[in-house]
Amino acid sequence: MISTQESIVSINPATGEELGRVPIYSAPDVSDAVHRVRVAQPAWNNLSFRERGKVIMRARRIILDEIDEIAQLISRETGKPIPEAISMEITPALDLMQYFARQAAKFLKSQKINLGMFKLLGRTSRIVYKPYGVIGIISPWNFPWSVPIGGVVMALMAGNGVVLKPSELTPLTGLKIGDVLLRGGLPHDLVQVVTGDGSTGAALIEAGTDKICFTGSVETGKRIAQTAARTLTPVLLELGGKDPMIVLEDSNLEAAARGAVWGAFANSGQACASVERCYVHESIAEFFINRVVELTGGLKQGNGCEDSVDIGAMSSERQLKIVEEHVQDAVSNGARILIGGTRLLESAQPGGLFFAPTVLSGVNHTMKIMREETFGPVLPVMTFRHESEAIEWANKSTFGLTASVWTCDLKRGRRIAEKLEAGTVTVNEVLYTHAIPQTPWGGVKQSGQGRTHGRLGLLELVLPQHVH
């Protein structure tokens, strides 16, 4: 039983409709949840990888059976179109569950080390990988299914228990994750979902977990790192981005224009890896920008639960205001709005939070729109003359999550990719690589520290022990 009487209300940002109420877990409630997980975890760790994998695969089956209902829930809590909920959240999570259910044993098998001259003295060494114990996962609202479920599944496969604190904007989706895992056969107390706002998240940092995996803004990430430093609790930080897209003169312009539109406007631009800045070579800029504006004009915006909607609502008034502020700042400093530029009127979408997909030209690096994370459906485009200029500008940022290069010369693309300061660089692709469970995900500079996904991500959830 939790002690609190306070609750938060989950709202559909496309309509303003109330979806449900959940309690705000207080600090004692959170401590109690951590304690219950700590008691349940050793028995789970004693199971084989195969047995743990079976539970994950059963939960996966339940998700498949209930995919429409889950997609509806995600769409209603975030405002994103149902096809986006399925393709960008549920399907990648299904893939991840299968991957780690099958591969964790191989990745975490104990390793014999060749000791060179010490071998001659008859010594042997092994590295064994032990779970941390209790992992605290704090997640954002923009991918309320795929981000937390990925972390939870990886932590479980490594033998940990988890306390999950979902975003206050998407608590029902967070609770659904706990629900499907439980019905898949997970031991009762092993995963606890503690709903609440920042105060619940802050309580989790202080509640004595063995590691915190945080996904969210740079500001909150820094605050968490400071608090965690007091007890030297390790933290994995997956933070924001200001991801550049470089379109070279030898690129496939139709593919690049479509990539820019999808990369900037999918999820209403509210992805950490959204295209937030576009640098296009001056020789092709006019054609490219015209095509981007034309494609943007063809997008249908509306309630994500309705048919054939391309771009949904924004998740919160707070986020919408940031987008408005960035666009106003850019325009008052000389930027031109080529399409969009404003929120949709109440009469167009009653009760909904919508910002029209927007393309800006005439931008520069003094503007917020080119420096700070906008996290909305805005694509500012700048032109460059030389490749070196584009690389310099792309790197001129405190962020470093993802970046992309567009060119038909793949050798050139790879060469430039390695010069870009980002955790992931794609050549002729944008945005989607968080969906790949096999490859590491994470940022450099203020976009975060540590990696999730892939073998490197799994190793973040275990303690290597040397047995000599």
In this chain, which of 79, 216, 437, 450 binds ligand NAD, going by CB under 6 A? 216
**Residue 165 touching ligand NAD (CB under 6 A):** yes
Written as one string, the DSSP assignment of 66-122 is THHHHHHHHHHHH---HHHHIIIIIHHHHHHHHHHHHHHHHHTS-EEE--GGGGGGT
- Over the window 368 to 397, marking each residue x when it contacts ligand NAD by CB under 6 A and - when it does not, the resulting string is -----x-x----------------------
| Interface residue with ligand NAD, options 83, 185, 187, 198 (CB under 6 A) | 198
- Asked if 286 is an active-site residue, the reply is no
Contact with ligand NAD (CB under 6 A) among 31, 217, 328, 439: 217
Q: Based on CB atoms, which residue is closest to ligand NAD, 239 or 462? A: 239
Residue 435 CA to its chain's centroid (Å): 9
- What's the start-to-end Cα distance of the chain, in Å? 46
The residue among 245, 246, 252, 212 whose CA lies nearest residue 229 is 212
Is 269 an interacting residue with respect to ligand NAD (CB under 6 A)? no
Q: Is 246 helix (H, G, I), strand (E, B) or coil?
A: strand
Q: Which is nearer to ligand NAD, 296 or 446 (CB)?
A: 446
Neighbouring C-beta atoms of residue 322, cutoff 10 Å: 17
- 49 part of the interface to ligand NAD, by CB under 6 A: no
Q: Is 408 noted as a catalytic residue in this protein? A: no
Q: Is 364 exposed, middle or buried (0-12, 13-18, 19+ CB in 10 A)?
A: middle
Stretch that binds ligand NAD, among 55-63, 234-242, 253-261, 333-341 (CB under 6 A): 234-242
Asked whether 148 and 169 are in contact (CB, 8 A), the reply is no
| 15, 146, 273, 416, 441 from 435: Cα distances, Å | 28, 8, 11, 23, 9
Residues numbered 121 to 160 that lie near ligand NAD (CB under 6 A) are: 138-143, 147
Residue 381 CB neighbours (<10 A) = 24
The angle that helices 410-419 and 387-395 make with each other, rounded to 10 degrees, is 40
Q: Any contact of residue 357 with ligand NAD (CB under 6 A)? A: no
Least Å distance between CB 421 and ligand NAD?
A: 15
| Tokens found for residue 236 | 């994995």
Instruction: Considering only the stretches 5-13, 237-245, 337-345, 460-468, report the one whose residues sit in contact with ligand NAD under the rule CB under 6 A.
Output: 237-245
Strands 111-113 and 125-131: antiparallel
344 with 320: CB under 8 angstroms?
no
Query: Considering CB under 6 A, how many residues would be counted as binding ligand NAD?
Result: 31
Residue 296 and residue 265 in contact, taking contact as beta carbons nearer than 8 Å:
yes
Tell me which residues in 19-48 interact with ligand NAD (CB under 6 A): none
**Residue tagged active-site, from 213, 272, 278, 305:** 272
Q: Does 206 bind ligand NAD (CB under 6 A)?
A: no
179 vs 206, which CB is nearer to ligand NAD? 206
| Nearest distance, CB of residue 370 and ligand NAD, angstroms | 16
Among residues 383 and 446, whose Cβ is nearest to ligand NAD? 446
Comparing CB distances to ligand NAD, the nearer of 179 and 197 is 197
Q: How is residue 440 written in tokens?
A: 């590491």
List residues binding ligand NAD (CB under 6 A): 138-143, 147, 165, 167-168, 197-198, 201-202, 205, 215-217, 220, 223-224, 238-241, 272, 373, 375, 401, 443, 448
Catalytic residue positions?
Answer: 238, 272
